Amino acid sequence: MSDLRDLYQEVILDHSKAPRNFGVLKGATHSAEGYNPLCGDRLELYLVLEGDKVTDAGFKGDGCAISTASASLMTEILKGMTRADAEAMFAAMHTVLTGEGEVPEGVDIGKLAVFEGVRAYPMRVKCATLAWHTMRNAIQEKAEEVATTE
């Protein structure tokens, strides 16, 4: 179990130190902003949707290692997903991070399993969910900024 925890920590550190898809995405068709007032994490998310499919994703912002790694992994995984797939992955991540509910049938969280240990640290759950709530607002074309205060 310790080796698995170490591997998960390595993945999170790798994505926080060298985030994938970091930067403003030119030509984005959807975007949203998120803020975690408890720790100060800020995120701007950019998506390119062609029809119902996410073809590209990017983000910029300032946040802790968990927040940055979550956004980095999320932007990698979103590419090629439909809106419905992205919504299902949002629900799956909510379950993984909070322990509430069940992962939707047929959803494979894959690399996102690295965040399963975060639920043991309730204050860090909001860091990990910031990118996901921001993605949901972007997909649903909601203009208001996401604030992870709940």
pLDDT-based confidence at residue 91 (cuts at 50, 70, 90): very high
pLDDT at 1: 52
β-bridge mates for residue 53, sequence order: 50, 82
β-bridge mates for residue 60, sequence order: 44
Domains of the chain: 2-147 (3.90.1010.10)
pLDDT-based confidence at residue 138 (cuts at 50, 70, 90): very high
Residue type, 96: V
Report CA dihedral (122, 124, 127, 129) to the nearest 10 degrees: -40
Let me know the angle formed at the C-alpha of 53 by 50 and 55, rounded to the nearest 5 degrees.
70
Kindly report the pTM of this predicted structure: 0.91
- The pLDDT of residue 73 is above 70: yes
